[in-house]
Amino acid sequence: MKTRGQADANAPRRPEWGRRSKMLPVDLSHPVVVLGLVLIFAALFGDAAERLGVPWITGCILAGVVLGPDAIGVLTPQKLSDLGPFLQASLALIAFNIGSKLTGARLKAFGASIGWLALVQLLAPMAAVLAAMAALGLPWPTAQIAAAVSPATAPTTTYAVVRRLGASGPFVDRALGVLAINDAAAILLFSVISSIAVAGLAAQSSAAETWTALAAAGREEALSVVTGATLGAFYLVLRDVIAGGRPGWDDRLRATLYALLLLAVGTALAFGLSHLLTTLAMGAMVANGVGRAEREATQASVGDIEQPLYMIFFVLAGAHLPATDLVGHGAVVMAALVYVLSRVAGKYVAVFLGATALRLDLATRRYLGLCFPSQGGAAMGLVLACNGSQAVRGLSPDAGSQVEMAVSIVLLGVLFSQIFGPIVIDYAVRRGAASSATGGGNA
């Protein structure tokens, strides 16, 4: 599998097939102009998607495919590199928001059954994808990275379907509870497993060097969590200083939060830490250090800027999709389809068996496992962050190509899951909520 050259030495590796065409004149190629075009296309494609009854995220991803280097070429590899900070900021917000939902009271309220269901549907798809990728004959590190990202879901897609249907009740509460736990744990799992895979690629000469690399990766993950928690605690200290009745204090506190988020991302990138784990830990620390009303206000403050950043993120992520693989690389397409099917099968079987063992209602057994087929921002963010890390950039070309192959498989898998996922979720929520509401779901 051949790849195009990188835009520059510091740009993250990405699979790039097809011929790039330059569609913009030089005077319209400034990153700010391109950013404006990205937001316009995101708004138009997202609106068109919603009109067709699918999530706006799918529209933004397709907008990125259209603008990307494998289509009309507005988002060239160099432009994607120039807009990298916006991608990192969006990833930081995704992780921060996931962390801000991890409050002790909320986790306690979920109950043991949701915790067990969340655990089994995290681990089962990893085993299923790992076995499937190995059966296809893919390199072991490629299989490891693909398996590591398989637990991640697209909670926004499930939330959008639930909101559009106006569904509620015990079945919906259980599905949303599993989702709330899932992606935080998925980030932790991916950080550990991908670090093991990359460390193995970087130190193939001896077992001693591999274990040394793994120990260093473990220290980096732990330091990421500690750094994020420290910045979150620092925010709580500054909050006590800034908060009060003085005019404009809430705006200054909001600016402080934004500043510490930027510091979290910048510090992580500068010292080779995981900026996803750093901001996730920061979000969890902040959420557990304030009351409910203030926690919701903090989430609203981030919400003021998250929507346009999310739109930029999904367009840029869509531009990374190797669109020409759909016609020119049947093996990669086949691997992506196997990845999607094995991932969904792993989640469904795990939830069915787990719910049966816990003696939960029939609706939960039959339909809950179908509420998580889609992948989106979290999965794309994880593999793109891994691909752009210092550890991966330092690999040899042969070792790096194994990571690139995993990225291609996952990104194509995300595209496929965004096409059929909302349909499956719609069916599961309709049937599960209706059965639970009428009492027909009891065992």
Residue 68 within any structural domain of the chain: yes
Domain that holds residue 305: 26-438
Contact 35, 291 (CB under 8 A): no
Per DSSP, 27 falls in state: G
Q: What share of the chain is helix, strand, coil (3-state, %, to 5)?
A: 80, 0, 20
As a whole number, mean pLDDT of residues 69-90 equals 77
Per DSSP, 369 falls in state: G
pLDDT tens digit string along 348-364? 999 999 999 988 888 88
Contact 69, 319 (CB under 8 A): yes
b (16+ CB within 10 A) / e for 391-407: bbeebeeebbbbbbbbb
CB atoms under 10 Å from CB of 7, counted, come to 18
User: pLDDT category, 326, cuts 50, 70, 90?
Assistant: low
Please give the pLDDT value at position 327.
55
Residue that wins the pLDDT comparison between 13 and 158: 158
In order of 170, 173, 435, 440, the CA distances from 443 in angstroms are 14, 18, 11, 8
Among the listed residues 64, 13, 55, 41, the one whose alpha carbon sits nearest the alpha carbon of residue 321: 64
CB atoms under 10 Å from CB of 33, counted, come to 12
The one-letter amino acid code at 178 reads V
pLDDT tens digit string along 92-134? 777 787 778 777 776 676 677 888 888 898 899 999 999 999 9
Please give the pLDDT value at position 19.
44
CATH number for the domain harbouring residue 344: 1.20.1530.20
Please give the pLDDT value at position 43.
92
Residue 9 within any structural domain of the chain: no
Please give the pLDDT value at position 345.
94
CA–CA dist 141, 399 (Å, integer): 9
DSSP string, 162-202: HHHHT--SHHHHHHHHHHHHHHHHHHHHHHHHHHHHHHHHH
CA angle in degrees (0–180, nearest 5) for 46-47-48: 90
Please give the pLDDT value at position 124.
93
Please give the pLDDT value at position 343.
95
CA–CA dist 80, 99 (Å, integer): 27
Q: Global pTM? A: 0.69
As a whole number, mean pLDDT of residues 141-158 equals 86
Please give the pLDDT value at position 239.
86
Residue 10 within any structural domain of the chain: no
Contact 283, 98 (CB under 8 A): yes
Cα distance between the two ends of the chain? 51
CA–CA dist 281, 108 (Å, integer): 18
| Of the ranges 16-25, 214-223, 354-363, the best mean pLDDT one | 354-363
Please give the pLDDT value at position 15.
47
Q: Is the pLDDT of residue 21 over 50?
A: no
Please give the pLDDT value at position 2.
44
Q: Is the pLDDT of residue 333 over 60?
A: yes
Residue 231 within any structural domain of the chain: yes
Please give the pLDDT value at position 292.
77
As a whole number, mean pLDDT of residues 210-217 equals 63
- How many Cα atoms occupy the beta-carbon half-sphere of 75 within 13 Å? 30
Long-range contacts of 201-205 (CB under 8 A, 24+ apart): 201/141, 201/395, 201/399, 201/402, 201/403, 202/391, 202/394, 202/395, 202/399, 204/399
* Tally of domains within the chain: 1
Please give the pLDDT value at position 208.
58
CA–CA dist 63, 43 (Å, integer): 9
Q: Is the pLDDT of residue 395 over 70?
A: yes
Residue that wins the pLDDT comparison between 318 and 138: 138
Please give the pLDDT value at position 387.
79
Rg (CA), the chain: 21
pLDDT tens digit string along 23-52? 445 555 677 888 888 999 999 998 998 888
- How many Cα atoms occupy the beta-carbon half-sphere of 346 within 13 Å? 25
In order of 61, 133, 140, 318, 335, the CA distances from 137 in angstroms are 29, 7, 9, 27, 10
User: pLDDT category, 217, cuts 50, 70, 90?
Assistant: low
Task: Quote the mean pLDDT of the chain.
Answer: 79
Long-range contacts of 289-293 (CB under 8 A, 24+ apart): 289/232, 289/233, 289/236, 290/236, 290/239
Residue 14 within any structural domain of the chain: no
User: pLDDT category, 439, cuts 50, 70, 90?
Assistant: low
Q: Is the pLDDT of residue 173 over 60?
A: yes
Contact 278, 268 (CB under 8 A): yes
Residue 49 within any structural domain of the chain: yes
Q: Is the pLDDT of residue 214 over 70?
A: no
Please give the pLDDT value at position 209.
55
In order of 228, 268, 285, the CA distances from 225 in angstroms are 5, 10, 10
pLDDT tens digit string along 288-311? 888 777 777 777 777 667 778 778
Contact 91, 385 (CB under 8 A): yes
Among the listed residues 270, 332, 280, the one whose alpha carbon sits nearest the alpha carbon of residue 94: 280
Ranking 142-146, 205-209, 281-285 by mean pLDDT, the lowest is 205-209
